[in-house]
Every structure is written in C-alpha cells, then in structure tokens.
Structure 1
Amino acid sequence: MNQSHMTPPLANVLGLVMAGGQSSRMGQDKAALSKDGLTLLERAKLVLKRANVSEIIVSANDIDGACKDIVPNKGPLGAIWSVLNHQIITNQSVMLIVPVDMPLLSPESLEYLYNKSLACQNTCYFEASFLPLCLVINDALYSKLEQSIQSEDRSLRALLHALGADKLVMPTWLAKGDEFFNLNTPEQWQRFSLEMQNNPEKRN
C-alpha cells in the first residue's frame, strides 16, 4: 500500500474505526485477527494514517481506550452518536469512518472520498458500500442522527438518505475491484489470507 498525500492538510478531520460489532459469524473478535504482523484494527488505523488523518479514534465497548457506546445496541449510528457526545469533537468538521473488517481499503480511496466531500460540502459515500463514509459534522447531522436512532430503521442507509448524502461512483482509475471486500466469516478470512499470500504488494 503506497503512502497517500492528501491535500489540504486534514486538521479538521477525525478518523473513526468502527470496531464494535459482535463478530458472531466470525466466531471471534474480528478486530484482533492478525495477518502479516498486523491485526485488522491496526490495519484500519494504518490506512487512515496513510490518508494523512492524524487524529484517529476507535469505537468499541471492549477495547481499552476506545469510545464506548452511550446508548447500547444501536449499531453504527450509536457509535457515531457516542463519538459526537463524548466531547471528542473539538474543531473537526468532518468524520472519516472506516470499518474494522474491510482490510483492502486504500488510502487513495479515502483521499478521493474526502476531497469529494470537501468539494460539495456534503456527506459522501461510495455506491458500492455505505462504508467507508465521509460524514460532515454540522447541526443537521446531530438532528437527523438523533431522529434516526429513535426510529425503527437505525441503518446507515436511512441516515444517509435523511442527510441527502452524495453517492459516489468509484472512478475506473481508482477502482481495484476488491477494496470493499468485507470479512464476516472464517471462510472470508481464509480468502483474505490467501489474497495476502498471493499478492505481496497488498501487504501493509
């Protein structure tokens, strides 16, 4: 994975790793799974760092130093709500969110996502997946997020629809085909391990 050079400097960005899932289908904590000397959690933090995000936090209830849920069992929306209400946000205007179980994400894709969000001054995500996500922090986010958490549909899809987020098509020059590969089962972990073995250039 090559070093990315994102401009302008990301002093206004908070990186968030979503690592609070129950990992029920995997049968063990996904964040702690390790390949080539790096856990999935370390990989997720590293891709944010390589996208020049200097301030990074983790959302999880069982990881030391992580931001814990204020309201339990609310999924990704609960994690975002907790970050917004734990007085972690200072001068940041954007939250760049990555899942812990998407280890093939590239810093270039995060750069593209951020720059598009900056250009249109709106929350952005890729057509292929709701995560990663570049979330604009403003009054509308607080209002829509609170409403979404209290509704029956507490999905990211519903929140992004309520926010009027922009859905991006991955440009052909950037698309690598497997960036949104998501690890949920032991079989998918085996596939990822084989991918790393056969393609050393994808190793961190």
Structure 2
Amino acid sequence: MNTSSVSLQKNHLVALILAGGKSSRMGKDKALIPWQNIPMLKRVYQVASECTEKVYLITPWPEKYQHILPTECEWLTEIKTEGPLVAFHQGLAQINSDWILLLGCDLPLLNLDIIQTWATQLNQLYPEILAFVPKTPQGWEPLCGFYRQQIKIELQKYIDLGDRSFQKLLTRIPIQQISIDTQTEKMLFNCNTPSDLHSRI
C-alpha cells in the first residue's frame, strides 16, 4: 500500500460529484458530453473512485446517468435545484465521512496524481480548517476541493441567511488555500459553453 493510500484511509475521504446543473450556457447536458469518447461525468467518476473510499453522486435526475456509471456509485437525490452550494449541503446531510472531495461533473482534465497529492496533505491541516481549496487569479475553485464534515454547521447558517455564493462562503470560514502551478490550473479547466469545449478539443 502506498503512502497516499494510507493517508486517505486515515482521513476517511469520500467524493461527492454534483450533477444537477441545467447546462443552460452549453445548450446540452455537460455531464454526458464525450471527452475523448468518454462522457465527462464518467471521467470525473473514474478519477474520484481511484483516490477516495466511496463516490457519491447527487443529482435530481439519476435515471439520466445510471447507464454510464458503475453500480458501486452511491446515488443521492437532489431535492431542490438551487445551485451547487445547496446541492452540497443536501449531500453532506447524507454522508458520514471526515473529509469530502467535492467535484463538478465538468472537469475533463481532472488529474489523479494531483488529487492524490492534495489528499496526502489533509493530515497536516489544523483542526479548525474547514476547507482545502485551490485558488486561481479568477477566484476559488470550490468544485474541486476538500471539505471537512464540520463545515455543514457553517453551511447551514450561511444558507439560512439566504446566501448561495460559494465564493462568498469561502471568505467567511477557516480555509487553507491549495497552491497551484500551470499544470494544476490546466486541470481545473471546466466546460461551460460550446466555445470552451471547442477550444480544448
């Protein structure tokens, strides 16, 4: 067993993939768009399953994706489609794990080695740190980050105030920024529009 595997088990790390967006800017479901002949959601699942103990998928439409994911995937139903922050909150209520790797379904360049390297650093974080998230010049990348289970307390307070912005949430909680380089920034590319997609194909 390698060092990263030991570290992951110590932290009881699971993954939660969000697949509840309307993909309005793309014009079709991003999760099902093939990237190198593999649907983007499936690519994200494959990486997540390699570096966590269990992978959960939260979506309002499980029937849309069951045919592309293995039976080992844990399906959670998104009751309210109010954006990623609320979906994360709903997922957390159904997950019992020390750390959650939160992922969007539109990360076709997700890199297993980078994610595993980040995961090995979780043991080094102070107990009060609730999130370990990369930040680019454009802002935080909340849908490719690690969150401690205890964040759900702050998340509930934040949602009760009527806020839905992940960016604002991450300025209000104890957080450790993940340092990124050129390779990491490339990995964080996500597809929102047809032009985004065509620019990388």
TM-score, normalised via structure 1 length: 0.79
- Corresponding residue number in structure 2 for 1:101: 106
Equivalent of 1:162 in 172, 187, 197: 172
Contact 1:17/1:57 (8 A) holds in 2? yes
Q: Work out the CA distance in 1 between the residues paired with 2:3 and 2:198.
A: 32
Aligned length: 181
Seen in structure 2, the aligned counterparts of structure 1 residues 10 and 177 have a Cα distance that, compared at 3 Å, is: closer
**In the alignment, what sits opposite 1:198?**
none
Provide the C-alpha distance between the structure 1 equivalents of 2:3 and 2:28, rounded to a whole number of angstroms.
Answer: 35
Task: Give CA deviations for 1:101-138 in whole Å, capped at 9, x if unaligned.
Answer: 11112112212322233211432001122331100112
User: Which runs of structure 1 show a deviation greater than 6 angstroms over 4 or more consecutive aligned residues?
Assistant: none
SS of the equivalent of 1:21 reads coil
Q: How does 1:65-144 map to 2 (within 5 A)?
A: 66-70=75-79, 72-86=80-94, 89-90=95-96, 92-121=97-126, 122=129, 123-128=131-136, 129-138=141-150, 141-144=151-154
1:148 maps onto 2:147 in alignment: no
Pair 43,5 (structure 1): closer, same or farther in 2 beyond 3 Å: farther
- Provide the TM-score with structure 2 as the length reference: 0.80
List gaps (5 residues or longer) in structure 1: 195-204
Supply the distance in 2 between the matched residues of 1:163 and 1:33 (Cα, whole angstroms).
34
TM-aligned CA distance change 1:30 to 1:171, over 3 Å: closer
- More deviation, 183-192/61-70: 61-70
Aligned-partner SS, 1:54: coil
For 1:59, the equivalent position in structure 2 comes to 58
- Contact 1:74–1:149 (CA<8 Å) still a contact in 2? no
Tell me, what secondary structure is at the counterpart of 2:195?
Answer: helix
Q: 1:34 Cα deviation (Å)?
A: 1.3
**Offset of 1:96 from its aligned partner?**
0.5
Give me the whole-angstrom Cα distance separating, in 1, the residues matched to 2:172 and 2:91: 20
Match of 1:10 in 2: 8
Identity rate of aligned residues, in percent? 23
Instruction: Give ranges in structure 2 of 5+ residues lacking alignment.
Output: 67-74
Q: Counterparts of 1:154 and 1:117 in 2: how far apart (Å)?
A: 26
| Equivalent of residue 188 in structure 2, options 180, 186, 192 | 180
- Counterpart residue number, 1:189: 197
